Structure 1
Amino acid sequence: MKNRLQDIIKGDRTLWVVLLVLSLASILIVYSATGRLAYREADGHTAHYLLRHSFFIALGFGVMLFLVNVVPVKFYSLIAPSLLVVTIILLVLAFIQYRLTGKATPRSLDLKFISFQPAELAKISLVMFGAKMLASRQKSKEELSKAFWWVIGASTLVCGIISLGNISTAGVIFMGMMGLMFVARVPFKLMGLTVLGGVALASTMYFAAPILPHSFGRIQTFKQRIDDHLFGDKDAEEGTTQADYAKLAIFEGGLIGKGPGGSDVSNYMEAAYNDFIYAIFVEEYGVGGGIAIVLLYLIFLFRGVAIVRASTRTFPAFLVTGLVLIYAIQAFVNMSVSTGLMPVTGQPLPWISMGGTSLVFTAAGFGLILSVSYLNKQNKLTEEEQSETAVVVNVPDEDQELK
């Protein structure tokens, strides 16, 4: 039985353990944080969202196991351009659907039989495309400069469409791509110009928001949330805001927390099971539990670095770099919002916040990382076998030495 599990669970074992622990923490806290939602949407059946979330967690592990056992890493390089085109089409369709139906935001695409956020697919497809472009142009600075324009063009297009419905997600993805290009040794001049361009764009959005029409609602929301964080939320004068509830949850959790299921604040928060789930976790498991979650994401980041360092080829290394950076940045943003370090924004905590198809896409990203770690181990074993063969071939025959 043990050998069978070892044959199936391939790749970095530490990363598997981290994902398993995060899964257990996710199931516990989602069950606790969805009580209000269950009474409102599921006729009071509090186990409804527990079973739903557990199903998607299990499905996510199935996706990871499939990718690491069946799909070769080189396949991702082959499909990268096509998958990026599909992603852009889906993002555009989501925006068109939003304009035609009058939905609140163009984040999700409803295909009747399934509804999902194309931005989750964009995290994977854009990294795959960027890794392919940068990996194939490492011979000179001139080639890297050409790759930069391909990657920055694709990133600007994809993140620009995503920003129409979710500026923070666009920012997270773009920062991850910037980190990828930095690791890929893109010339500092080009990186510096991109940073300056990003600062100029953010400043323009902030100062132009008051004079823009209501059709530019996300830009106005962008400015409003920064102002609320810097100068105080005017809504707090009339009642308790979500950010206030998050701070209250962390305060009431103290050092040791209220224990599993002990959260009171989750009964009053709209996003207790998603954007502010970290605050509810601290309320129930204390500051120690919150630190443990931070450490798990740090281990995830460090294992990603180890996988990159062990890679013998550039595409797998860049693939892991981009994905690890995006998920690590996303986790940092979520926890920073919950603790009041950053303006309020809608970023779920990877692999902990409640989700459906978003969990499956996140699992696919983890599956790619694990596939590269398994490929590294295979390459290492092959090198060792070749080294042993070479030693055996070079050993002189005893009879010949005596002669």
Structure 2
Amino acid sequence: MTDPKRDRPRFVLASASPARLKTLRSAGVEPEVIVSGVDEDHITAESPGELARVLATLKARAVVATLTDHATVLGCDSVLEIDGVAYGKPGTPDAARERLRAMSGRTGVLHTGHCLFDTRTKQELRELGSTTVHFAELTEEEIDAYVATGEPLVVAGSFTVDGIGGPFVRAIEGDYHNVVGVSLPLLRTMLAQVGISWPALWEQPHFAYDEDEAAKYDETRGGPDRARAAALAVHELLGSTGGRVLELAVGTGIVGAELVALGNLVHGVDLSPAMLRRARIRLPGHVAAADAAQLPFADRRCDAVVAVWLLHLLADSDAVLAEVARVLRPGGVFVTTAEKSEAGRVADGRTPKEGRSEDSLALLVARAARYGLVLDGATTFVGHNQARGTTADPVYPVARFRRVD
């Protein structure tokens, strides 16, 4: 059993772009996102390409200035160049229409500046990726309809190649991902220069339990008594969600089976083959191998999502919270245990240390709110048969977040 928090470098994306984040995630990299707050509107440079590189550098440096621990920070910014003129985000529908008319049937160059700052080696690398983009001829009806979607207002050059605007891009010459917002081959080369191999950033299963761990998991974690207590607390918070539950990190299925006994229909996912073999006995036909940060479900399909003793194992809970919000229907609930690392302190009547763990309730409330998950319920249960160094069994908080639009 390995702890990826020790093995994987801390990699920070200094950008709010969903497209950049999605591109990195699709390539197996789960960055920590810290938005720089750089005002792009008042920055100038001698050329569109240099402007993209300057903006990327400013973003990376702004985030580095906020860090209290070592990290490798990537800043990116994209600019479309047509006839030597730089086009960023248009901001207004009228500006977007004007630009799309000017781009129609033309060819431009999409520049993406990349700045990689490694605080441990104190290296700052600045590179530029440039891709030629050939645009299709657009009708006025297509331009109006595209602007009405809102997409071209918030992206560099007023278009996307990976979204609604994809059909309006006739061809590209160069790196596709650079047009989306981050050149993966260029980033790989930059990382190598600061001593980080690309595979070192791949997201690995968090605490991938092997056969030996799975075999003794139940008996070393309080057994049926603790599982039943946890299931009762979760069931109490599920409320009238229809009884259909997706359990993340289902493990051996010991909690899921108790939820079924309480009248819920439970589907579970986990990354550990050894744990899933046991879960399939308790929940036959209702478990699958999947990463909680990349769930194989369509948007807004789940009534309830449950995570019992998962979040405290993560190096960063942000990706899981984003996926939970994505798959939950409006009004659906996310029920999760919290403050596990501080259970002994809670049992002794002491205040948990906020921010110590990824399941810190204060941290979860702040992060979940970014994805439309609002705390609206909580309870506790006693971790029977698992007292460790305290005079009483630990008391575990359980929180409920509701998905709102």
Tell me the TM-score normalized by structure 1. 0.27
Which structure has greater strand proportion? 2
Compare relative contact order (CA 8 Å, sep 6+) and give the higher one, 1 or 2.
1
User: If each structure's helix is expressed as a fraction of its own residues, which one has the higher value?
Assistant: 1
